[in-house]
Structure 1
């Protein structure tokens, strides 16, 4: 039976699994729900694929645990299958935004980012087995902290990808395009300490932290380099105690995105050089780079060519894209290892209420994974 016919036939069962996952909320900051969610993921995987040849649970502490399940293949080597089970949606969102299928699309919290991709990854191995197709061993790594930077799971992702033939990331696609380049991300906070004083009675003795921060924000906003793919956004700002008080404290939260690794060092120098014009004001910068940029290294280029050839064999044209968001694929790429991202759903609306998946593409995306795994064998 052709791969595409098989994936079309099992679509109803895949949608049942997707409903199960979406209807169990897994907000990144709700450890109890993350624990329940991971238990459900494991039960679903074992129902579809049987008991794994190896299973490891890594306690994430305050973060979601990491589950690694390895299924022995019929060919040499191992492929790492990366999928996160946490979402950005707070527990309770489902109450007024339920899992819904209508007009060829599915909506619900986390359906696009990235529970559909997780389901597709599981059914890809199910299909390879049922059709008797060769494939390497597969290690599934499910993490519950991707949406907050993979603070716990990063080291386990890097370790698991060390000897892999490839790492496939089941984040959603960009309108069907695979993601071969992503920006690196830095999260920083600038804290300013000034001198409080009465704004009317004694204005000259004060040194406003807010005025100083406004000066620094303007300077920071001019430090991006869009021609190099570097952007900076001051997304949060707070400070002061009253309109009639020269503010003693003020802070701002900053998101920096870079397409090229050298830009990380340049931006580090920008932050290190922040000074207020008023010498009575002190400036402190905290934060760090959360993810390095994902740039197309030679092994990943070869892997994309393989995927493109697989798609051509199905009669599809597969293209690639560079995107501003980051994923766990950034970690793998930065180590010079082969990785393909965007293997998951076709749809739109990540982190937004119009998040949705186009049902018609689920079988073909699953087939693409199956074909690539067979090619890697």
Structure 2
């Protein structure tokens, strides 16, 4: 059993309110700048030192170090999926044991818990916190930085929300988005339909080919999610697009699916297709979390681990061979949805778990 220290849930709730009430939608650099400054202020008020804002085209990332040789990276993000104005419709509230409001579960609650957990440590050397600004939209501006700090520290604790029932996330699928663009030729749908090349019909063929790439038995899902075509109801469509979500459990499946997309060919004479995209987040195998999950089980007997379909920045750090444990953040649910919530009674327990893991990693 690990040493449990007292943390103030009331103080965590107030810090959570502070973060939630500064809206931080991805790609809104002005809002994210305000959010980053707020995150930095909370970190400094609880942990001391200086939280540095690292500028990027996506908005500022926040980096804090407890000094000394880096040993463990606490990784999170402050961007959320909700547009400005969501707070007016869904303000921060604490009722019936749940905290609600945009971003409480994904993942502002996890940030607050981690900060308060680390505040219980008399010695914070070797600990770094990195809170990025673009995780929800692919981490393009933060990937190099988070990979650099993960390699420097040698262990990563990811503060994404828990899996169902508070389980930690011990594995994640790799994921990516593909877009298939179809070009045909327009013509009058009534006077001379045969003179056109119908991009919508070609797109329909492609959707069936693409859907057939899934291998559920191997954990691979290939799901067409968005399609668009046409301009007017009496015009043979000259262009169409199909957007596809892909999830894979292994590097071999990643290679197979990417090769299959590259090999897609048109069915209609004179139709042309172009494919962009990739499996941009590699799979996080359960082997990457095994060592840290064993520590967590010793610290919190009975805690469960689960492999999940969603991806996080932990996918990137695990792919580097850095031990990575995910799902250490809030216990709750409803990520990206209006019913998003955090279970207040679990906040102190999770804060203590983060602190215990840091102690254990530094003592290893």
TM range, smaller chain: over 0.9
Is 1:232 the counterpart of 2:222 in the alignment? yes
Distance 2:48 2:152 in 1: 24
- CA distance in 2 between counterparts of 1:42 and 1:271 reads 42
Aligned partner of 1:17 in structure 2 is 15
Q: Report the equivalent of 2:55.
A: 59
For residue 66 of structure 2, what is the aligned residue in structure 1?
71
Q: CA deviation at 1:67?
A: 1.9
Measured in 2, the distance between the counterparts of 1:309 and 1:3 equals: 12
Candidates 326, 331, 338, aligned match of 1:341: 326
Question: 1:80 matched to which residue of 2?
Answer: 73
Note if 1:310 corresponds to 2:299: yes
Residue 365 (1) aligns with residue 355 (2): no
Instruction: Tell me if structure 2 keeps the 8 A contact 1:297–1:333.
Output: no
1:129-208 matches, cutoff 5 A: 129=122, 136-174=125-163, 175-208=165-198
Q: Does 1:280 align with 2:270?
A: yes
Separation in structure 2 between the aligned mates of residue 345 and residue 4 of structure 1, nearest angstrom: 18
* Superposed displacement of residue 163, structure 1: 2.8
1:216 to 197, 200, 206: 206
Contact 1:4 1:363 in 2 (8 A): no
Deviation at 1:36, TM superposition (A): 0.3
Between 1:192-201 and 1:341-350, the stretch displaced more is 192-201
Alignment equivalent of 2:88, drawn from 92, 95, 100: 95
Q: CA RMSD in A?
A: 1.5
Q: Which moved more, 1:301-310 or 1:143-152?
A: 301-310
User: Distance in 2 between the 1:45 and 1:56 partners?
Assistant: 10
Match of 1:125? 118
1:244 pairs with 2:237: no
TM-score by length of 2: 0.96
1:115 to 103, 108, 113: 108
Give me the whole-angstrom Cα distance separating, in 1, the residues matched to 2:3 and 2:45: 21
Unaligned stretches of 5+ residues in structure 2: none
Whole-angstrom CA distance in 1 between matches of 2:283 and 2:237: 37
Q: CA deviation at 1:373?
A: 1.3
* Per-residue deviation, residues 194-244 of structure 1 (Å, max 9, x unmatched): 011112211221110000000110111111001111111111111111222
| Deviation for aligned residue 1:56 | 4.1
Give 4+ residue runs of structure 1 displaced > 2 Å after superposition: 2-5, 55-58
Measure, in 1, the Cα distance between the counterparts of 2:314 and 2:105. 17
2:263 aligned with 1:270, yes or no? no
The Cα shift of 1:58 comes to 2.3
Tell me how far apart the structure 1 counterparts of residues 52 and 215 of structure 2 sit (CA, whole Å): 43
Alignment partners' CA distance in 2, 1:4 and 1:162: 29
Task: For residue 296 of structure 1, report the CA deviation from its aligned partner.
Answer: 2.1
In the TM superposition, residue 5 of structure 1 has moved relative to its aligned partner by 5.2
Counterparts in 2 of 1:94 and 1:3: CA distance versus 1, 3 Å:
farther
Tell me the matched-pair count.
360
Structure 1: where are the runs of 5+ without partners? none
C-alpha displacement of 1:77: 4.7
